[in-house]
Amino acid sequence: MSSLAVNFLGIPMASPLIGASGTVGFGLELAKFIDMKKIGAISGKGLAPTPWNGNNGTRIAETTSGMLNCIGLENPGAPYFLEHYLPEVKKLGCPYIANMVGKSVEEYAECAKLLSVPGISALEVNISCPNVKEGAIAFGQKADALFGITQEIKRHAKQPVIMKLSPNVTDITEMAKAAEAAGAAAVAVHGRTREQYYSGKADWDIIRQVKEAVSIPVIGNGDVTSPQKAEELVKQTGCDGIMIARGAQGNPWIFAQINHFLETGEELPKPSPKEMVEMVLRHAKMQIAFKGEFTGMREMRKHAAWYTGGYKHASRLRSLLNEVETYEQLEELLETFASYNEA
């Protein structure tokens, strides 16, 4: 059995796996489900120097076939995170990467200052946010803008800086070279364009091109939904880190599954229906505690569908999940589902 432990940017990591920003919260939620000491690192929810409230108006609407949401990019702000979340984040047992967002160079710089504290191992800079002072052109779409913002963040950051590149450019290698020239310690690349959104197949060749263009480490992201795909991503692109995003939705076991496969070449068995249902119900209780039963249970419909995918009778269950409104209804439905699967 080979060890997956790596020293990434001077950060000791148990494996090259990184939980992607936007899919793992601040890591505290995920810690209730899995052993965090076996994850390489967590990239937390994006933080701005001040709170962002997200979109105005109606943000969640129920439809006959499910639910629509228009939340926007909301976050509590870096100061709130430092006071209320970081003390617990430090106890996770794995390195924490703070993801930063902003609307101007000044905001990014201020965020870097605030987040340059013990307990945060690196800064990941989301440069796909609209640059308000440049006519809503994303920082990551102009090499000179990317160079300038990277350099300014580096002036204030005490940790390694990872620039999260946007693939929505003519030549992403030009952007990667600009980030490297400005002092970025690494770049993260998602092989999916804005036009694709979550449809189609991620283009890993984009990641390969970046890896060949720069000498700094490259983190690859996109369509890593199984241990085999994680292995194939590294083989095809040569990337140094593997970022897990939607692959963890409905499958928080994916980190352990990938680690085990890369170490031994063997697949871990799928969680039993009973184990899976216990996980969904724990998740549902957390949703209710955080958002109340009305919103929490409606949001759990999609999560429950993701968790149960691949089990027998899952297609029939999905239509029934769209009618669930209370925790008790979900519990009864899932326990019946588990009994059918174990029969």
- Catalytic residue set: 129
Which residue(s) pair with 60 in the sheet?
69
CB contact at 8 A, 313 and 341:
yes
CA distances from 302 to 24, 32, 294, 323 (A): 16, 20, 14, 12
Shortest CA distance to 154 belongs to which of 99, 108, 216? Answer: 108
CA distances from 188 to 12, 23, 36, 140, 180 (A): 18, 16, 22, 12, 12
Dist. CA 125–CA 102, nearest whole Å: 9
Dist. CA 151–CA 165, nearest whole Å: 15
CB contact at 8 A, 301 and 321:
yes
Which residue(s) pair with 18 in the sheet?
41, 243
Which residue(s) pair with 219 in the sheet?
188, 241
Backbone conformation region of residue 136, classed left if phi is above 0, alpha if psi is from -120 to 50, else beta? left
Residue 279: its H or E element: helix 273-308
Dist. CA 322–CA 202, nearest whole Å: 29
CA distances from 229 to 202, 222, 261 (A): 12, 10, 11
Dist. CA 208–CA 237, nearest whole Å: 4
Shortest CA distance to 9 belongs to which of 83, 97, 92, 126? Answer: 97
